[in-house]
Amino acid sequence: MNCRTARQTLELARPDEIEPKGLDDAARHLEECPACQSAVRRQDELDWRIGVLCRDVRVPSGLKERLMEELVAGAQPRPELAGRGGQIGPEASAEPAHVSPVAAVVIPVAKTATRMTRRRWAVVASTVAAAVVASAGWSALWLLASKPTVNLDAVTQRLTNGLDPNELGAFTQFDDGAWAKLPETMDTRDVAPEPRRLPGGQIAARTDVAVYFFTLSGPRRATYQGRLAVVPKGCVINPPKETRFGESAVYRGAVVTSTWVEGKFTYVCCLDNAHSLERLRPRNSAI
Amino acid sequence: MDHRAKLADLVEQYYALLYRYAYRLTGSEADAEDLTQQTFLTAQARWEQLRDETKAKSWLFTIARNAFLKELRTPAFQCTAFLDELPDRHPQTQIADFDGEQLQNVLNDLPEEFRSPIILFYFQDFSYREIAEHMDVPVGTVMSRLARAKAHLRERLPAREAVVAEPWTSAAAAFDCWTPQDSRAE
């Protein structure tokens, strides 16, 4: 057995556990190999240190008591359900209840006129208040949802770090119902027709991004990967000034990125080989 | 003993371990406490799903993981690193030199399917079979993920130079599969 296999085999061997294949051979190898002895000793030290630190988490004081309280509270019938099923107090069992369609508030119907009036006022007031709060909440949510959230730097970084199309689902439409559209200022003949969906959550945004993947052939049968992200123009926090593919480009090592706005969309094109940029300019491009 | 008393027993037995797991999973005290609380509330609500009480620990940790995975879909918890993209930073000629916070940062970089098993592995409270049940994957997959997660930790955790230097096959790819394939002598 060689050193690599021996170390692999020994790495996860634990007492009273499933025995990995070849453990005896690995153990024999270890006895005779000073390099492996040293490496395994270091790995054991590392494991020990990680284990100690991993378990060394201070549990907040009073957590157990808080959990117990929550469980007790969770086991009690909820006050708003008392009139329907909880049977708390003589009034609850005697009075029927109906549910307001506006705020799903349970409105118990009292027996005396005075109490009925007072309660109705209270219910009306609370219903109106609930409606106002809900309306304000929806407005805030609407404002929040309509605010641009896509940072192109985050998109660029995600594209630059490499994306596996197999890890992304199929993209269908943007939130406003629009379909992703390929740009006209870039040669898109090699671009796969079906975009993939980069979830907004992966770039700390609320809008999903459509990503097209493509492969370009280079010299000596080399191939280079490219990725083209499409984002609705209005969703971008930091839209670029450029209006054509390749109008300006950012080079990071071998990777080149071009960002531009065209029509209703902002595009980010990332190529793993900087020389590929020229390949993607349309033949009739004046740039 | 009724189920409330049994649940109270489970809280007594596992709340600390569960909180530690939740903390290492989320990287935040507030989120860990929420997750622990959510776990026990869910356990209470679905008590009848626990058919074998000897598997209560595994059941609780599965509830916690599922609750976390649900949260993971929100932006705050999204993890964007993938093991294959990680560069080799520290060859195995170095000695571990890091603290709990640095460990947490490196754990946060791991995708959840690697983070959960490695946390449970280092807790030493779970067998490989239990981790496999918890993750709902075969034991071999757990082994493979553990090997890759350990390689990730080796590469990303800060280290200082060792006195004696010697080679080691440190790339995550070296641990792609559990069953050793390469039988050539070194």
Specify the CATH number for the domain of residue B2: 1.10.1740.10
pLDDT surpassing 70 at residue B116: yes
Q: Say what the pLDDT of residue A254 is.
A: 73
Residue B163 within any structural domain of the chain = yes
State the smallest CA–CA distance between residue A150 and chain B in angstroms. Answer: 12
B27 found inside a domain: yes
Is A68 close to B8, i.e. CB distance below 8 A?
yes
Lowest-pLDDT choice from A58-62, B1-5, B156-160, B171-175: B171-175
One domain for residues B110 and B166: yes
Domain boundary among B27, B53, B81: B81
Does residue B109 fall inside a structural domain? yes
pLDDT-based confidence at residue A5 (cuts at 50, 70, 90): confident
**So what's the pLDDT on residue B60?**
92
A162 to chain B, any CB pair closer than 8 A? The answer is yes
Q: CATH code at B143? A: 1.10.10.10
pLDDT over 60 at B119, yes or no: yes
Tell me what the pLDDT averaged over chain B comes to. Answer: 76
pLDDT confidence of residue A75: 65
Task: Closest CB to B19: pick one of A20, A63, A161.
Answer: A63
Region of A62 (left: φ > 0; alpha: ψ -120 to 50; beta: rest) is left
Cβ atoms B155, B168 nearer than 8 A: no
A66 touches chain B (CB under 8 A): yes
* Residue B87: inside a domain: no
Read off the pLDDT of each residue in A91-98 and give the average, rounded to a whole number: 33
Residue B132 covered by a domain: yes
Residues B72 and B143 in one domain: no
Q: What per-residue confidence (pLDDT) applies to B88? A: 42
Q: Which of B6, B18, B25, B37 to mutate to test the interface with A (most CBs of A within 10 A)?
A: B37
Question: Chain A contacts of B41, Cβ < 8 Å?
Answer: 70-71, 74
Of B8, B33, B100, the CB nearest to A63: B33
B39: containing domain: 1-81
Of the residues B52, B81, B110, the one at which a domain ends? B81
Segment B175-186 mean pLDDT: 34
The number of folded domains in chain B is 2
| B185 and B108, same domain (yes or no) | yes
- Is B86 within the bounds of a domain? no
Query: How sure is the predictor about A2, in pLDDT bands with cuts at 50, 70 and 90?
Result: confident
Verify that B77 and B96 share a domain, yes or no: no
- Does B178 share its domain with B119? yes
Which residue among A47, A57, A74 places its CB closest to the CB of B41?
A74
Q: What is the pLDDT of residues A45-87, one digit of tens each?
A: 888 888 888 888 889 989 999 999 888 887 664 443 333 333 3
Residue B108: inside a domain, yes or no?
Answer: yes
B117 and B51 co-located in one domain = no
Best of A43, A44, A50, A65 to substitute, by most chain B Cβ atoms within 10 angstroms, is A50
pLDDT recorded at residue A48: 83
Q: pTM of whole model > 0.80?
A: no
pLDDT at A63: 92
Residues B103 and B54 in one domain: no
Flag if A5 and B182 touch (Cβ within 8 Å).
Answer: yes
- Is residue B52 assigned to a domain? yes
Query: Which residues in chain B touch residue A20, judged by CB atoms under 8 angstroms apart?
Result: 143, 178
Smallest Cα distance from B135 to chain A, Å: 17
Give A160 to chain B, closest Cα distance, Å: 11
Reported as a pLDDT band with limits 50, 70 and 90, residue A25 is confident
Contact partners, residue B60, CB within 8 Å, separation at least 6:
B10, B14, B18, B39, B40, B43
The 10s digit of each residue's pLDDT in A171-186 is 878 877 788 889 999 9
- Average pLDDT over chain A reads 73
Give the pLDDT band of residue A209 (cuts 50, 70, 90).
very high
Q: Are residues B118 and B152 in the same domain?
A: yes
Q: How confident is the model at residue B52 (pLDDT cuts 50, 70, 90)?
A: confident
CB contact under 8 A, A60 and B19: yes
| Shared domain check, B96 and B66 | no
- Which residue, of B33, B54, B81, is where some domain finishes? B81
Residue B185 shares a structural domain with residue B112: yes
B98 and B33 in a common domain: no
Average pLDDT over residues A8-12: 81
Same domain (yes/no): B111, B66: no
Least confident of A141-150, B116-125, B132-141: A141-150
Residue percentage of chain A with pLDDT more than 90:
16
